Amino acid sequence: MKSSIKLLIAVIVLAYGFYGCGGKEEIKKEESKKEQSEVVKLSRESVKQIKLETEIVKLQPYTGYITIPAKVITNQDNEAQIGSLVQGRVHQVFVKVGDFVKAGQVLMTVEGLDVGEIKAGFLIAKAALDYTKANYERQQKLFNEKIGSQKSLLESQSEYEKALAEYKAEDKKIHSVGLSDEDVTDAKIGEEHTSGTLPIKSSINGIVVERNIVIGQLVDATTNAFKVINTNNVWVDGQIYEKDIAKINQKTNALFTSATYTNEKFNGRIIYIGQTVDEKSRTITIRGEFSNANNKLKPQMFGELKIPVSSNAKAIMIPEEAVVKEGGQEYVFVQTSDSTFEKKIIVTGILIDNRIEIKEGLKEGEKVVSKGVFYLKSELKKDELTGE
């Protein structure tokens, strides 16, 4: 019985030994195959025939533009929502979508009881002011001629100052709802319809892009009756990756190009760099301001924003044609000897004038293949197929 157990243990140990050796050999074969697939070996004659060229990797200052996708938006300083601050019904509408309007131009009129009360309050306050002012000036004249008393002068002064304060309050009220002194004083108190009508005026020069009211509609302070925009000056918003933010200055010039105008570049300047990073895209908003006197740039138009790189920026830059893009990866070939070229996975950055930034994968002093990459890629694939 004991001898049978010993024999079984010996068989197990021997089998394990054979299996272990075979496993190690398989691992070595896999490592050898992997190593072989990462390296291309060529004869010196082949290197000359394909006119292969290399470039020494080094950190260097670079100039050019960072190009990012961008969109034209309205300059919020040149955009206005216009409506009535007083409740009433729309009496007349004088403009439609697409009309150009000037600041102060009447867009519609609104009728309501509150409008009449505001106008009446102003007219009463103005009449009281005119009366008390005249009385105060008369008392001053009498006192100076030693005819009137000081008591009467002080009383008239007090009445005048009270009337002046009430007038200023009513004056601010009519201006707050969009009325001017002329809108009220030119109207006759006996004409109810006129005194109860409020003209709604445009606050800026621009084009009417929204009209949200019709005649007879009840409106109040929450109703946005019109939207007017001025596109003589627009903003262009783009998204830049956080890793590139240090390469640009806060207030630098910028260029905008659009597929709509293929041969035209619009000049502007960067006015804002965002202070937060988008969690999903890892980008930061960059805003440029552009003159648009000819109104070619339309809100929501897409294009590219080109931003000059900061003069003190440095990076490893290699020719774009040296980079191979395959299967979601990017790699280059580094010359390790006269006839040996090693594949290296890299991480690229911005592209400037046919040269691309290398963020990871290369270090200074290495020789990267700049021409003949396609041939090396073909040889690499051939080795992989042979190994399989």
Q: What is the pLDDT of residue 5?
A: 53
User: CB count, 10 Å around CB of 375?
Assistant: 19
Burial 239-256 (b: 16+ CB within 10 A, else e): bbeeebeebbeeeeebbb
Q: How far apart are CA 228 and CA 80, in angstroms?
A: 5
164: Cα separation from own chain's centroid:
49
**DSSP state, 250?**
T
Low-confidence ranges of the chain (pLDDT < 70): 1-37, 63, 186-195, 310-313, 383-388
Question: Which phi-psi region, left, alpha or beta, contains residue 361 (left: φ > 0; alpha: ψ -120 to 50)?
Answer: left
In this predicted model, what pLDDT tens digit does every residue of 327-354 receive, in sequence order? 888 999 999 998 899 999 999 877 777 8
- Domains delineated in the chain: 37-62+314-387 (2.40.420.20), 65-75+231-308 (2.40.30.170), 114-195 (1.10.287)
Q: What is the pLDDT of residue 72?
A: 96
Q: What is the pLDDT of residue 46?
A: 84
Note whether 236 and 287 are within 8 A (CB): yes
Q: What is the pLDDT of residue 149?
A: 87
Provide the angle, in degrees to the nearest 10, between the axes of the packed helices 150-176 and 113-144.
150
The contacts of residue 33 (CB under 8 Å, 6+ apart) are: 387
User: CB count, 10 Å around CB of 164?
Assistant: 16
Q: Shortest CA distance to 91 belongs to which of 179, 174, 193?
A: 193
Note whether 167 and 128 are within 8 A (CB): yes
Q: What is the pLDDT of residue 352?
A: 75
Q: Shortest CA distance to 200 belongs to which of 86, 298, 282?
A: 86
